[in-house]
Amino acid sequence: MYRVLLADDEPIIVSGVKYLIDWERYDCQIIGSGGNGRETLDLIRTRRPDIVVCDIDMPVLSGLEVLKTASEEFPRTVFIMLTNYHDFELARESLRCRAVEYLLKNQLSPETLEKALAVAKAEWENRNKLDQVNLVNDYLETNRQEVVGNTLIKLFESSRAVPVRDAAALLDGQGMLSGYAAAYIPLDFSALPGGGRLSGEETKRLFIWQKEIILKMARSFFQNTVVLEPDLLCQSLYLFCWDLAPGEWEKKLELFREKVCKTSAQITRLGITVLGTGCFRDGSELEQCGAAVAALREWYYLMGSEGTSGPRENTVSGREKTEGKPLGLTGAAAQLAGAVRSRDSEECRAVMDKVVRRITELPHEKIQALWLCSELYDTVRPLLPGDGWEDCFSDPQEAYRQIDRLATRAEVVRWLERMKDALSSVILNMSGGHTDIIEKAKQYVEANTDRHIMLQDAAEHVGISAGYLSTLFRKQYNQHFVDYINQTKMNRACSLIRQGKYRIYEISYMLGYENAYYFTRVFRRHLGMTPSEYQKSLGAEPPAE
């Protein structure tokens, strides 16, 4: 049965309409009535009627306002409007808002209401059929877009082979292989403040926002375009454009790149790189297009943001390909495992240094580096206590997630350096070797208070990285190594001041400071007073010139 709602602020009218005809005879059921516009709208939202018989002139909200709002929220609901006046403008406005009938109350009869009800029921059926057709069309269009998108992604991703002939047939059938080109768009989350340390949900939200920005801009530059996300890592996008006029792609791509990078820097603050292929003529060049995208992806891995413009000036044709070479690291994982088993921290670092050197110096494919990182981690993880690792390495799931997200060679090198330091830390903990390294670093500082000492200097002296030394020292003394350097120098400064032989500016130079002003700032920070105030607190006078 059709669900009918009555709406009028005059109870006598509501009663009259309710009993004017036998509603069940017309397969209708009265489900309620509203006494003003607001109440009527609330009833529509909660009870979802199929047909509303509504007075135009009601308090709080007028019938026209109810009609307009309900038509937007519930487009299948059909309205029959009632009024006391024969107002042509009101009638036209209500019909424009998709009401099916406009009835005068003083001329209302069973016949006119039955006729209006028949029209309303027919209109309700038409709207429902149209909605069903639209749903089917939407589904088919969504399915078509998904198939096309998946085909392009498989074509661009070298790890997911797709028969080029089948892909060409599908894309050509959609009219997408005439004057077409693609771009690879990696996103750099490390450009964010704090190095891009976001939760998975925050990363996904920012990625979707960035995709919307890129899609909107692409549509303003290119008439036919699609933006694709290749995986769930939220690290990159593909842009595919077709029906390009000769020279259009090359001319517009640079402008598109500049606008996307500038806008993203202001809005999402992500680092954006746009690397474009050349423009291709027809389906016979589709395989070449896929190869060009693969070349761009490998180029970005090796060069990072330094490769903003791609292997050549602006675009690549598909013939350029990075020549990957064997890394010559067969057996590196076994050597590392041997160093770990023998608790040889120096050998461990030597093996990792060799790995880093090969990754840095030799051109290779990204998959080689990621496979190597996984192999090294898989080999040594069972050999070490989990609680000794840094958090990012103690949790295998997090470690593998980080490996998957390594987008460039520079990121791979940083990950390997962190793993080297983490391994050394665990091994030294197991062998009790931490103390020797830290004591050696402290002795170096104490012996060189007259020099401008940096963390890197001390780290090189003891044979470990600066980051690793900083981590070890902070764990043992709950103090930054740089603060220890300054503290040692301030202790020496106090000793020199107590001797009464030197002026403040002389002491600052003796301790390796470039000027007395900076020396005074450091002294105040550590002792809560200036060198002159400390001198006076001793009752001493500065030495005579």
For the ranges 5-9, 17-21, 194-198, 301-305, the lowest mean pLDDT is seen at: 194-198
* Statement to judge: residues 203 and 307 lie in one domain: yes
Other CB atoms within a 10 A radius of the CB of residue 42 amount to: 12
- The answer, yes or no, to whether residue 45 has pLDDT greater than 70, is yes
pTM of the model: 0.58
Q: Are 305 and 241 in contact, with CB atoms under 8 Å apart? A: no
* Statement to judge: residues 175 and 295 lie in one domain: yes
- Say whether 213 sits in a helix, a strand or coil: helix
Instruction: Render 372-437 in DSSP notation, one character per residue.
Output: HHHHHHHHHGGGS-GGGS-HHHHSHHHHHHHHHT--SHHHHHHHHHHHHHHHHHHHHHHHT-HHHH
pLDDT (tens digit, 9 = 90+) per residue, 132-162? Answer: 666 555 555 556 678 888 888 888 886 445 5
pLDDT at residue 88, rounded to an integer: 67
* Statement to judge: residues 197 and 304 lie in one domain: yes
Bridge partner residues of 81 (DSSP): 54, 102
- The CATH number linked to 213 is 3.30.70.270
For the ranges 39-53, 254-268, 334-348, the lowest mean pLDDT is seen at: 334-348
* Statement to judge: residues 121 and 82 lie in one domain: yes
* Statement to judge: residues 178 and 294 lie in one domain: yes
* Statement to judge: residues 66 and 26 lie in one domain: yes
- The CATH number linked to 120 is 3.40.50.2300
- The answer, yes or no, to whether residue 515 has pLDDT greater than 80, is yes
Higher-confidence residue: 274 or 467? 274
Q: Is residue 223 part of a domain?
A: yes
Please identify, among 426, 446, 480, the residue that sits at the C-terminal boundary of a domain. Answer: 426
- What are the φ/ψ torsions at residue 424 (nearest 5 degrees)? -60, -40
Q: Is residue 498 part of a domain?
A: yes
- What are the φ/ψ torsions at residue 14 (nearest 5 degrees)? -60, -45
Q: Which helix (H) or strand (E) holds 187?
A: strand 181-188
User: From CA 357, how far away is CA 395, in angstroms rounded?
Assistant: 27
* Statement to judge: residues 440 and 422 lie in one domain: no
* Statement to judge: residues 248 and 359 lie in one domain: no
Instruction: Render 32-89 in DSSP notation, one character per residue.
Output: EEESSHHHHHHHHHHH--SEEEEESS-SSS-HHHHHHHHHHH-TT-EEEEEESS--HH
CA-based diameter of the chain, in Å?
121
Go through the chain and tell me how many residues it has: 545
pLDDT at residue 313, rounded to an integer: 42
Q: Are 316 and 351 in contact, with CB atoms under 8 Å apart? A: no
Q: Are 173 and 165 in contact, with CB atoms under 8 Å apart? A: no
* Statement to judge: residues 125 and 247 lie in one domain: no
- The CATH number linked to 492 is 1.10.10.60
Q: Is residue 152 part of a domain?
A: no
For residue 520, how many C-alpha atoms fall within 13 Å in the half-sphere facing its CB? 12
* Statement to judge: residues 409 and 446 lie in one domain: no
pLDDT at residue 106, rounded to an integer: 85
Please identify, among 130, 147, 170, the residue that sits at the C-terminal boundary of a domain. Answer: 130
Report CA torsion sign: 152, 158, 164, 166. Answer: negative
pLDDT at residue 408, rounded to an integer: 92
pLDDT at residue 208, rounded to an integer: 93
Structural domain count, the chain: 4
pLDDT (tens digit, 9 = 90+) per residue, 475-489? Answer: 778 888 888 898 999
pLDDT (tens digit, 9 = 90+) per residue, 222-238? Answer: 999 999 998 778 899 99
pLDDT (tens digit, 9 = 90+) per residue, 61-94? Answer: 999 999 999 998 998 899 999 988 766 677 778 8
* Statement to judge: residues 477 and 391 lie in one domain: no
Range of the domain at 450: 436-537
* Statement to judge: residues 306 and 343 lie in one domain: no
For the ranges 188-202, 272-286, 407-421, the lowest mean pLDDT is seen at: 188-202
